[in-house]
Structure 1
Amino acid sequence: MKISMLVTILLGLNIYASDVRGVSTAQFTTEILLTIGAEKQLVGTANLWNEIAPELKEQFEKIPELSKRSPTKEQFYELNPNFLTGWKSISTKKNLGDVEELEKNGVEVYIPKTLESNSLESLYEDILFFGKKFNVETNARALIEKLKKQVELIKNKNIYKKKLKVFGYDGKEDFPYVVGGGAIGNTLIEIAGGENIYKETSFGFGSGQWEKIIDSNPEVIVIIDYDNASSEEKIEFLKNRSPIKMLEAVKNNNFIVIPLNYISSGIHVVKGIEILSDGIDKIRNKNRE
């Protein structure tokens, strides 16, 4: 191949990458993209459930935030986007349109693999995809290596410790909305030294049963904190009005509060494991007293 032709191809690839006009509709995808340096190609964000990571705030504030939840089609198409990623529910007919409609309108859709997997490898694959798509592959690979090393350190710290049974409570009162076995939250609990009582389920977050929780008698209750209800409100309900208020874990305040974006996929997985691991350690030690 002639050098001139090779240069033309490479330039074409760079032009393609720099021409990405992306919209991210999940906090975890937004924070990944900002961390690997793709902010100049992000034209919009949405669905911020917790505060953005402080180290990313300056970059984040330069990008239009379309909505705290799902943006409208009008808001979305005003940005002339050609790439969409985030929660799978966004690319449905009731929101921005299904994948077929979006692609027909010139928008490539990438549903993160980690949304349907409990493997950290799926997170690394997503990061690498974004790195290649936004022409920041070196940064993406560096982030992956950093996360892998940090996760391995915590794994080694907890490998010989007795696992405690964990109930992950997202919310709701008529029935519990729980952390299931089908997403990364389950894996973070395991690495931290816990055993999710809903590990056999295929969903990431889903409907549970109060009877199942009573029968399982968890030793740890993880409270997912975001703006649907405060962690204090959730704990007050569990302690005073819930069907599981008689459990020892509830009576002994064996609660670990963790922000939603720390028990979901994304750049906070290591911090999430640390929060869970430290909390489980404290409860483990308390049980010995």
Structure 2
Amino acid sequence: MTLRSHALPAALTLALALALTGCGADVADDKPSAADSAKDRPVTVENCGRKVTYDRVPERVVTNDVGITEIMFALGLEDHMAGYVMGDDRGDLEDIPWKGGYDRVERLSDKEINRELVLDAGADMVFAGWNYGFGEGNGFTPAALKKVGVDSYVLTESCRNGGDGKARGVMSPLEALYTDLDNLGKVFHVEDRATALIAKFRKQVADAQADLPAAGDRPTVFLYDAGEDKPFTSGRYAGPHDIITKAGGDHVMKDLEDSWTTVGWESVVERDPEVIVINDYGDTTAEQKRKFLKSYPPLRNVSAVRNDRIFVLDYVDLVESPRNPAAIATLADYLKGVRETNREHGG
């Protein structure tokens, strides 16, 4: 009698395996992938001097304001956003590198961000900043959000410094941008994207600085944001400081240990800037701001006004955002022209 083998033919074995797979019996598929495991791995970063831990990758982030929103877009994190809050005075959002982000992510409001809006959106994280959405006056703070189960990340440009809690800024503005990109790269497990973006921005800034003059040949520059009785401007910790200095200018308010703050016109007159950069946003247009500067009697003899050296940048160029490096290049071109004119006239 011939003995029959219990081993199945190879073809039948393969057919059974395929049938089981089709019925959902593939045991390997039940194991979490490396990407899924990463999402469940807590990540701790330092944010405004505090260690903050995120238990898993945020999936429904609400951002406040244009620069913050575009940081998320630049990192390719649109799929992790529930929406953004942004005023309708933040400039042209059409001809920009991150137009696709605005097409894909919902604008939740053009008013002030608040807890109810965040909860209605089902947010698991809010990315905002002090005076960029967060503030004790309206009760909208990271601590208040934590009580209702929503994480926060605070824009580094807005970090508070000093004992009174009013002054803001703890590092160079561009380093603040790079810090946020690096931190968020870790939180969302897109470190490679963050590293590549930081390298790209550093090169963009280095290229803009390729032929900058020595310190003594740099035009002095004042940033005018708004205000008639007193001007609202930038100290050394807001975006304009690095944009001005790395573009080849000498920031006249570099001694202010703050980000955005108010000064007196007398200090502007005393420092006699050769160039004034206008922050274009709000109900008052850039042209209206220019007309005010040109007609305001105390500024009559200020060099920038007398020589009509008034340059305009958009709000998003000047607050912490991925547009900062391009703004440096744009201003560098303008200041180069100022230097050349000065040399022609023996200035």
Distance verdict in 2 for CA 1:235–1:10, change over 3 Å: closer
- Which deviates more from structure 2 when the two are superposed, residues 65-74 or residues 137-146? 65-74
Determine the structure 1 residue equivalent to 2:67: 28
Matched residue type, 2:153: Y
2: CA distance, partners of 1:122 / 1:59: 22
Determine the structure 2 residue equivalent to 1:47: 86
Question: Is residue 114–residue 126 contact of structure 1 (8 Å, CA) maintained in 2?
Answer: no
Q: Does 1:152 align with 2:177?
A: no
Determine the structure 2 residue equivalent to 1:101: 144
With structure 2 as the length reference, what TM-score do the two structures score?
0.76
Distance verdict in 2 for CA 1:19–1:247, change over 3 Å: closer
Q: Does 1:271 align with 2:333?
A: no
1: CA distance, partners of 2:187 / 2:246: 30
Determine the structure 2 residue equivalent to 1:3: none
Determine the structure 1 residue equivalent to 2:154: 111
Matched residue type, 2:255: E
Identity %: 27
Q: Does 1:71 align with 2:113?
A: yes
Matches within 5 A, 1:207-246: 207-246=262-301
Q: Does 1:131 align with 2:176?
A: no
Distance verdict in 2 for CA 1:151–1:79, change over 3 Å: same
Question: Is residue 276–residue 309 contact of structure 2 (8 Å, CA) maintained in 1?
Answer: yes
Determine the structure 1 residue equivalent to 2:36: 11
The alpha carbon displacement at 1:21 in A equals 1.1
| Cα offsets for 1:178-227 (capped at 9, x unmatched) | 12112232011111111111100012221111111111111111111112
With structure 1 as the length reference, what TM-score do the two structures score?
0.90
Structure with max Cα Rg: 2
Matched residue type, 1:50: G
2: CA distance, partners of 1:153 / 1:54: 21
The alpha carbon displacement at 1:9 in A equals 7.2
* 2:127 aligned counterpart, secondary structure: strand
**Greater share of residues in helix:** 1
* 1:188 aligned counterpart, secondary structure: helix
Uncovered stretches (5+) of structure 1, i.e. residues with no partner: 1-5
2: CA distance, partners of 1:72 / 1:157: 46
Matched residue type, 2:294: K
- Which deviates more from structure 2 when the two are superposed, residues 72-81 or residues 84-93? 84-93
| Cα offsets for 1:115-165 (capped at 9, x unmatched) | 323242221110021222223222111111101111112223215361111
Question: Is residue 50–residue 227 contact of structure 1 (8 Å, CA) maintained in 2?
Answer: no
The alpha carbon displacement at 1:97 in A equals 2.3
Q: Return structure 1 stretches of 4+ with deviation > 3 angstroms.
A: 6-10, 15-19, 93-96
Matched residue type, 2:80: Q
Question: Is residue 276–residue 311 contact of structure 2 (8 Å, CA) maintained in 1?
Answer: yes
Question: Is residue 114–residue 122 contact of structure 1 (8 Å, CA) maintained in 2?
Answer: yes
Uncovered stretches (5+) of structure 2, i.e. residues with no partner: 1-30, 42-55, 159-168
2: CA distance, partners of 1:212 / 1:275: 27
Aligned residues: 285
The two structures, once aligned, show a CA RMSD in angstroms of 2.3
2: CA distance, partners of 1:60 / 1:195: 35
* 1:87 aligned counterpart, secondary structure: strand
